[in-house]
Structure 1
Amino acid sequence: MARARVGIITNQVVRDDYRAHSGGVMCVQAVAEVSDCLPLLIPADPRYVGVEELLDSFDGFLLTGGRPNVHPEEYGEDATEAHGTFDRARDSVTLPLVRACVERGQPFLGICRGFQEVAVAMGSTLHPEIRDLPGRMNHRMPPDGTIEEKFALRHKVTFAEGGVFHKLMGAPEVMTNTLHGQGVSCAGKRFHIDGTAPDGTPEAAYVDGARGFSLSVQWHPEYNAAQDPVSRPLFAAFGDAARSWAEGRASAPMLKSA
């Protein structure tokens, strides 16, 4: 049987005036080797892809991290210099895609910016620079060092007792990396925060009432996913959800032509 198909959301990058849709090897590797699904890159631009055709073409979606942030107009605020750069094309694809997946029960996994996309899609607001808030730590990626140093484990995430993440991880708290500047400010009613950093920053969440897999994390579990005891169960569970969706699609009755 063919592997379940996971669409990996890409980011637009420009190098020497050459525009490209880029997807990280870490994400591809995690989907292929840990989720055991077929990884396929999606150009996140509504000029080239439509939400309905994406829903019909894939069994699950990986909402990746990325440097551009969700535009604050998407949650009713004005853009400032602190909000950084934006990718309105990606916003136009991922936000309605998340809402559609929630309603259909189609699985998705949000990572970093993807976590924030799910938050905004579910009515949350974001703070542009959480390290400026009283009592908050600096969650940003270290500016220097090796890739191992940048993705090193840096703080604990504590899960709600008996919650979704607690059950999935088999532990009430875990160690994670941290490479983000923004964070959830006010959570929407359906964006259920299930794990937080020591400074109170939301780090793990799911969509309340969603019929399918809807987990998102603020850290980057794609790094060392096959060996990391936190990343592996997350990607494995996501793969199981994508396979379940694929099996349901395969068993659905074919429409007969008139």
Structure 2
Amino acid sequence: MARPIVGIIGNAYLMNDQYPVHAAGTMNSTAVTDVAGCMPLIIPSDPRFVSVPELMDACDGFLFTGGRPNVHPEEYGEAATEAHGEFDRARDEVALELIRSCVEAGQPILGICRGFQEVNVAMGGSLYPEIRDLPGRDNHRMPPDGTLEEKFALRHEVTFQEGGVFHQVMGAQKVLTNTLHGQGIKTAGPRLVIDGHAPDGTPEAIYVSDAPGFTLAVQWHPEYNAAEDPVSRPLFEAFGQAVLAWSNGKQATTLLKSA
């Protein structure tokens, strides 16, 4: 039986500083395959190549990944500054519309890091350009040096609302996560629920209230060591179950239409 398909939102890169490519980290595909039990499909995040209706028809769920470029502040009504970093307007155009469409349709989405920020912006929220510059906030950025293991090491706790969605998914109200981001939520979209915070008050876990489907997003990177990490595994398992349910429902609808 064919596995459900998870579209992984890719990022644009220059390979060898001159050859343009679309790519996504292997650890995203590994988490989708080994933990969520789905087939990963990397999506070129550029409206020249894809449309939202086609993507929603081709895939059963979507993973909105991290990436170096940030959501352009014009998407939440602010002017760009040097502090906002690099941008990818093509990904903005695909990802934000796709998130809104999936939320309304009930099609499962999981946001990670930039994907977490995309969910907030798509739902009407805004972002701080640099968390570490805010009074009382910690530096949440990736360590500049060290091995991959050191960069993705668990660095702070996240506390969820008691009895909330993430508490139920994780089976724990307090977990330990990595942290590799510069930006963060300034104002939450009207329908967003901030369900988890870092010790310094930075929002770390969100979902869309009253959405008919799975809409969880996290500011950390659960794709790293997802099969072994006690926080990452239940998150990707829950996502995979939601994607499977969507796939089964889509197949059932197709059978009814052809009967």
The alignment's TM-score, normalised by the length of structure 2, stands at 0.98
Residue 32 of structure 1 aligns with which residue?
33
Shift of 1:101: 0.3
Counterpart CA distance in 1 for 2:193 and 2:218 is: 12
The CA distance in 1 between the partners of 2:213 and 2:75, in whole Å, is: 24
Structure 2 counterpart SS, 1:174: strand
Kindly state the Cα deviation for residue 189 of structure 1 after the two structures are TM-superposed.
1.1
Match runs of 1:71-150 below 5 Å: 71-150=72-151
Q: Who is 2:7 aligned against?
A: 7
Matched to 1:53, the amino acid is E
Give the structure 2 partner of residue 170 of structure 1.
171
Shift of 1:188: 1.2
In 1, the alpha carbon distance for the partners of 2:55 and 2:193 equals 26
Q: Which residue of 2 aligns with 1:232?
A: 233
* 1:51-62 correspondence to structure 2 within 5 Å: 51-62=52-63
Q: Distance in 1 between matches of 2:34 and 2:141?
A: 28
Aligned equivalent of 2:202: 201
What do you get for the CA RMSD once the two structures are aligned?
1.0
Provide the rounded CA distance (Å) in 2 between the counterparts of 1:87 and 1:145: 27
Report the alpha carbon displacement of residue 191 of structure 1 after superposing the two structures with TM.
1.2
The letter for the 1-side match of 2:130 is: E
Amino acid at match of 2:248: E
Post-superposition offset of 1:253: 4.2
Uncovered stretches (5+) of structure 2, i.e. residues with no partner: none
- 2:182 aligns to what? 181
Residue 62 of structure 1 aligns to a residue whose secondary structure is strand
Per-residue deviation, residues 141-184 of structure 1 (Å, max 9, x unmatched)? 00000000000000000000100000111111000000000000
DSSP-derived class of the 1:14 partner = strand
Corresponding letter in the other structure for 1:130: I
How far, CA to CA, are the matches of 1:123 and 1:38 in structure 2? 31
What is the alpha-carbon distance in structure 2 between the residues aligned to residue 130 and residue 231 of structure 1? 24
| Shift in Å, 1:249 | 0.5
Alpha-carbon distance in 1 for matches of 2:51, 2:189: 26
Equivalents in 2 of 1:186, 1:32: separation in Å?
A: 34
- Taking every aligned residue pair, what percent have the same amino acid on both sides? 68
Q: Does 1:21 align with 2:22?
A: yes
**How many residues align structurally?**
257
Partner of 2:21: helix, strand, or coil?
strand
CA distance in 2, matches of 1:155, 1:88: 31
In the TM superposition, what is the alpha-carbon distance from 1:66 to its structure 2 partner?
0.1
For residues 109 and 253 of structure 1, what CA distance do their matches in structure 2 show? 25
* Residue segments in structure 1 that go unaligned for 5+ positions in a row: none
Relative to the length of structure 1, the TM-score reads: 0.98
Give secondary structure in 2 for the equivalent of 1:252: helix
Aligned AA (2:165): V
Instruction: Measure, in 1, the Cα distance between the counterparts of 2:76 and 2:249.
Output: 34
Q: CA deviation at 1:127?
A: 0.2
Q: Which residue of 2 aligns with 1:45?
A: 46
